[in-house]
Chain A
Amino acid sequence: DTKGLFEFVEEEYPDLSKHNNHMAKVLTKELYGKLRDKQTSSGYTLDDVIQTGIDNPGHPFIMTVGCVAGDEESYEVFKDLLDPVISDRHGGYKPTDKHKTDLNFENLKGGDDLDPNYVLSSRVRTGRSIKGYTLPPHNSRGERRAIEKLSIEALTSLEGEFKGKYYPLKSMTDAEQEQLINDHFLFDKPVSPLLTCAGMARDWPDGRGIWHNDDKTFLVWVNEEDHLRVISMQKGGNMREVFRRFCVGLQKIEEIFKKHNHGFMWNEHLGYILTCPSNLGTGLRGGVHVKLPKLSTHAKFEEILTRLRLQKRGTGGVDTASVGGVFDISNADRLGSSEVEQVQLVVDGVKLMVEMEKKLEKGEAIDSMIPAQK
């Protein structure tokens, strides 16, 4: 009774007429009808995938993704929706494309000589998902706790520069909390409706915590928007060192998870699998806080960033404004290029922009320095 089917799809299809996100642009009524009665083996459905995009119509200027994965399988079962979304978000990445992973820090050229008079701090972050568990929009309390337990075991076994301590969110003392806030390490219960509508704040703060090394240069968030968020950072411009620590630390952690038969989710098409399609591939955001008061007001600033494949943010992170001419500059790409390639772009691009800034300080023109599109 195909008439019944059409009526049914008509009744269930969300009203996306006022929406501006990648999901809304891709999800036609026909596609909705095709995918509506599928689920992954953990029971995640199309409605679950798209709920956040329905509840958050978006902004005329900022294109959000509008869908999430509930498990590794989501990227397969709902590929007819997610492939076009991925393509739109990641510069035309095709379903047949292969993603290169390169976490060999020795392949990075330079990166240890960014001028600390301009580059105030350097940071690299990524996310990792633990194979065999469903993702934060969907996982049960039992799964979340198991992820926490495995993470604690992996992290607390680290030694040397990686020796550190885990602070579970639900039992940290006031003193510990104060310290973590002062170090700018503490993460809060998500308030962004992009995350809460996807169910990622359920059961807060059960199973959530923060681990960092004694040196406070390597930090892991457990069970926030992804199973793990891994951050390497330090003051100054030695991005090379930050990246080295990042790669070495990740590798050590991955070994321990693999020993428990729970390695990281990864495949050769999408790279590292994370909750939000925007973080597929490397999931890597490598960036600096850099003083560019003159360059940032130059007419060609945006053009330069685009050509260098970089993006700017305020120093409060995503969706914040810059303060005092200090910008957060990081790689724009995540999927289709490797970790080394992305950090190389940051290193080379920031070096060039600092030179431009110096030129502008001397009253000289920078037109000859403007790069070709990378």
Chain B
Amino acid sequence: MASSFTRMISGRNTAVMMAMGAGTLASAYLLTDSTAAAAEIRRRYFPHSADYPDVRKHNNCMASALTPSIYARLSDKATPNNWTLDQCIQTGVDNPGHPFIKTVGMVAGDEESYEVFAELFDPVIKDRHNGYDPRTMKHPTDLDSSKITSGIFDERYVLSSRVRTGRSIRGLSLPPACTRSERREVERVVVTALSGLKGDLAGRYYSLGEMSDREQQHLIDEHFLFDKPVSPLLTAAGMARDWPDARGIWHNHEKNFLIWINEEDHTRVISMEKGGNMKRVFERFCKGLKQVEHLIQERGWEFMWNERLGYILTCPSNLGTGLRAGVHIRLPFLNKDPRFKKILENLRLQKRGTGGVDTAATGDTVDISNLDRLGKSEVELVQLVIDGVNYLIECEKRLERGQDIKIPSPIPPFRK
């Protein structure tokens, strides 16, 4: 491993064994013995059925998939960091969901969560990602931006273009589970790597806890600043602990490549600019990601990734590419057309308000982005957004001229 941060520094519910001397080690073992013995006694009084959550009124993927027998089997397990099933599902138990919006309802505490609790994660992943089966399918990763075509939009319609994803540092627990030392190590690893970026990617880091009022105002004005999470979906999963310790924002001097550190994921990587040059946005995105990956590899670190699930992130909804590519676009005619919803659906696009997820559209400007994350590569998804947005612009132009528009045939969610 790269540094002294090995499996010894494990998740927050583990008594750390430090080889400080025989006496201490012995008492540490004794403590663990009594903990294990106590846990056994408790299990006799409280079988798994006593702890099974009441999710009858819940509407989220976890609640749909969690049966008493799955709960019982997985409750005897823990990841090497001592992360348990109860910890994965707490957010879904505490947030019953909404009849119209089906949230995921569970999070991973570390990379191993997706394996150890596969019996529950797999059906949740299937439910959320259009039937993708992690047992039998492989996820394609492709960050070759040269493959993108027609990626420059008509700027009479497209106001801005943006691509985001997340990356996790292998060997360190994820935001719901991480200790302060792990979180600080994530910050150190990433900030060190970012300081190695040059040219148009050179930039600087702003630590949330230490920024001046002036720096804070600057970041707010640029719409770069992120706040302590208030959504109970995140707070119930423990992601806001120790705020603002080891949280921060990095951006390049040109202000079109931005990285959030230790918010909902280890890192969120964002490439953006005003106007319609999605191709350039994606080029910078891929270049930046590759350079950051190279820089962390030089020091013996790597991103969490596997060929079943692609890039590993905290929320199962962001597995695969973790990629949301989108535009802010004005479509006054199309926005009022009753076929708009179906067109988006078939193009596998989603509409959001310009404040991001769970906001309403202001005026005629909407945020249009890809629906899917897993089962298609980054190149495929960005191309899909480009082709889709171009189609929407065509529709808008036709409606402007009083011409009719067609609902396109549905695109399959992933390669079979």
Contacts and interface: CB of A to CB of B under 8 A. Distances in A.
Interface residues of A, number: 38
B79 interface: no
A196 interface: yes
Nearest to A51: B241
Interface stretch (A33-41, A103-111, A115-123, A153-161): A33-41
Contact of B50 (A15, A43, A145): A145
Nearest to B43: A142
A14 B242 contact: yes
A315 B51 CA distance: 39
B46 A142 contact: yes
Given A8-B181, A37-B15, A143-B46, A206 B53 contact: yes
Chain B interface extent, by class: 35 or more
Contacts of B18: 4-5, 8, 37
B90 A43 contact: no
A257 interface: no
Interface string B1-43: 0001000010011011111100000001001001101110010
B208 to A, nearest CB: 12
Contacts of A36: 16
Contact of B39 (A43, A141, A142, A146): A43
Contact of B179 (A12, A54, A141): A12
A1 B94 CA distance: 43
A38 B17 CA distance: 10
A327 B94 CA distance: 36
Nearest to B17: A37
Interface string A14-52: 110000000000000000000011110111010110010
A324 B170 CA distance: 60
B242 A203 contact: no
Nearest to B96: A204
A113 interface: no
A142 B50 contact: yes
B28 A37 contact: yes
Nearest to A141: B51
Given A37-B15, A51-B241, A141-B50, A11 B31 contact: no
A39 B94 contact: no
A176 to B, nearest CB: 17
B20 A54 contact: no
A140 interface: yes
A204 B13 contact: no
A202 B93 contact: yes
Nearest to A43: B35
Contacts of A202: 90, 93-94, 236
Interface string A326-337: 000000000000
B387 interface: no
B211 to A, nearest CB: 14
B145 to A, nearest CB: 38
B180 interface: yes
A215 interface: no
Contacts of A1: 19-20
Interface of A: 1-2, 4-5, 7-8, 11-15, 36-39, 41-43, 45, 47-48, 51, 54-55, 140-143, 145-146, 170, 196-197, 201-204, 206
Interface of B: 4, 9, 12-13, 15-20, 28, 31, 34-35, 37-39, 42, 45-47, 50-54, 86, 90, 93-94, 179-181, 184-185, 209, 235-236, 240-243, 245
13 contacts: A4-B4, A8-B181, A14-B242, A15-B245, A37-B15, A39-B31, A47-B179, A54-B242, A55-B242, A146-B45, A196-B235, A203-B93, A203-B94
Given A11-B185, A39-B35, 13 more contacts: A1-B19, A4-B18, A5-B18, A11-B9, A12-B181, A37-B15, A42-B38, A45-B12, A54-B242, A140-B46, A170-B54, A197-B241, A203-B53
The 8 A-B residue pairs with the shortest CB-CB distance, nearest first, are: A142-B50, A11-B181, A142-B46, A41-B38, A142-B51, A12-B181, A141-B51, A37-B16
